[in-house]
Amino acid sequence: MNKLQLRRYAKLLAKTGVNVRRGQWVIVQAELDQPEFVEMVVEELYRAGAGKVTVEWTHQNLTALHYKYQKEEILEKFEKWELEKLAHRVKELPAMLYLESADPDGLAGIDQEKFTAVRSSRTKVIKPYRDEMENRYQWCIAAVPGKAWAKKVFPDKNLGNTGVDALWDAILKAARADGPDPVREWMFHNDELAARCDHLNRLKLTSLEYKASNGTDLKVGLIENSLFCGGAEETVKGHSFNPNIPSEEIFISPKAGVAEGIVYSSKPLSYQGELIEDFSVRFAGGKVVEVKAKKNQHLLEKMISMDEGAAMLGECALIAYDSPINNAGILFYNTLFDENASCHLALGRGFNECIRGYETMSNEEIHAKGINDSLIHVDFMIGTKDLEIVGVTASGERVQIFKDGNWAF
């Protein structure tokens, strides 16, 4: 790979992704796949003003071994130092950069009952710390290629580094980081996303209706005074950052418990290291009442039973079918990319920032207004070439939002 272009990508993640503040602590979480690039990122974070950068390495194969040999009660247990570490992060509010590269099938074959139980138990402990940090720090999820992931995406390019190089090319293009100045490119991209948000927010919609020839027929209620968001976000103190690179979405958190109909997936979902394929989700009374899948339906059933909020919607995201990622014709088998190829929904936790004035509200007040709360937030893709989305205003006016899979305005 062109090291100059990788350097530009690293600079994008430091300056536009987490947008590190002078003297700030930054934590980078990464698998072992691209240590040289992680070095570049760390250097660019320091150049951008970071006071301290900590790298936390992970390895999916070790996770599989832990679940194979450790007892469930050991996996669930939090040591005292782990809780102190979480409390320290709440106090210091480090910026977080997550570099994904794991194998989409890397946890296939592990005991999923055990995995789900442990994940649920540990997430319940972590959630209060996460809630206290929400909207108070910068974070960014991006990606680098791993060999196993590259082989999954490009099965015919598995000799030497050919597949890895091909995945690097695809990642950089999708992230708008393949040109001479990715930081500048993202300034224009964020402006375009903000303009679409402004247009949608002026409509003051009360519901969204989805229809497609694959059988999707879904109506979702929206919260009064809620907001469409997209691209760059801000902490409660006004510091901007881009949580996802790449990102093509305009999103809103719908009203928890207000959804009727059925929706069909348009791409596989990578969940807990396995793929759920060709599935549908039916809602009644705002909750999931039925799921079907040709592959790994049991994972989908486990997912929606994690807690009460797991069976309700937390996000509606709008992305043109003719998005750069979808037009690349690549299935990434990774939610960060595939969710930005076309429209998606998310089950589970919603976003506080989708409520006007959320900065002055408690979590309890925000949830009372209709933002869903859950241990999970799982995106799944529903965009198709013929997807129609209509927005309905308080006066009953029907506004075409999507036509033939793309923006109608």
Number of residues that make up the chain: 409
158 pLDDT above the threshold of 90: no
pLDDT at position 267 is: 93
Mean pLDDT over 28-45 rounds to 98
C-alpha Rg value of the chain to the nearest Å: 21
Residue among 332, 282, 275 nearest 299 (CA): 275
What is the pLDDT, as a whole number, of residue 261? 98
Q: Diameter of the chain by CA atoms?
A: 61
Q: Which residues contact 208 (CB under 8 A, 6 or more apart)?
A: 219, 220, 222, 254, 316, 389, 390, 391, 392, 401
Residue 226, beta-bridge partner list: 355
- Confidence (pLDDT) at 302: 94
Q: Which residues are registered as beta bridge partners of 29?
A: 56, 98
Interior/surface letters 53-71, b for 16+ CB within 10 angstroms, e for the rest: bebeeeebeebbeebeeee
Q: What is the pLDDT of residue 272?
A: 84
Q: Where are the beta strands (DSSP E) in 202-351?
A: 205-211, 217-221, 233-234, 240-241, 250-252, 259-264, 269-271, 274-284, 287-295, 313-318, 344-348
Instruction: Read off the pLDDT of each residue in 361-387 and give the average, rounded to a whole number.
Output: 96
For the cut 70, the answer to whether the pLDDT of residue 18 exceeds it is yes
Q: CB of 281 within 8 A of CB of 243?
A: no
**Position 12 pLDDT exceeds 80:** yes
Cβ burial 127-159 (10 Å sphere, 16+ → b, else e): eebeeebbeebbbbbbbbbbebbbbbbbeebee
Asked whether residue 15 carries a pLDDT value surpassing 90, the answer given is yes
For residue range 91-144, list pLDDT tens digits in order.
Answer: 999 999 999 999 999 998 999 899 989 999 999 999 999 999 999 999 999 999
Confidence at residue 286, expressed as pLDDT on a 0 to 100 scale = 97
Q: Could you say which of 3.40.140.10, 3.40.1830.10, 1.20.200.10, 3.30.1490.20 is the CATH number of the domain covering 3-179?
A: 3.40.1830.10
Q: Report which secondary-structure segment, H or E, holds 84.
A: helix 80-92
Query: Would you state the pLDDT for residue 54?
Result: 98
Dihedral of the alpha carbons of 342, 157, 274, 108, in degrees to the nearest 10 = 180
Average pLDDT, the chain: 96
- Would you state the pLDDT for residue 142? 98
Three-state SS for 249? coil
Q: Structure pTM? A: 0.90
pLDDT(66) > 80: yes
Mean pLDDT across the stretch 320-331?
94
Provide the token pair at 144.
């680098």
Which band of pLDDT confidence, cut at 50, 70 and 90, is reported for residue 270? Answer: confident
- Nearest Cα residue to 152 out of 111, 99, 98, 108: 108
Q: What is the pLDDT of residue 159?
A: 66
Where do the structural domains in the chain lie, given as residue ranges? 3-179, 183-407
Sheet of 25-30: strand order equals 52-57, 25-30, 95-100, 139-143
Asked if 97 contacts 18 with a C-beta cutoff of 8 angstroms, the reply is: yes
**308 is written with which tokens?**
């009460």
pLDDT for residue 160 is more than 80: no
Q: What is the mean pLDDT of residues 180-200?
A: 98
Q: How far apart (Å, rounded) are the C-alpha atoms in residues 209 and 375?
A: 27
Average pLDDT over every residue of 61-65: 96
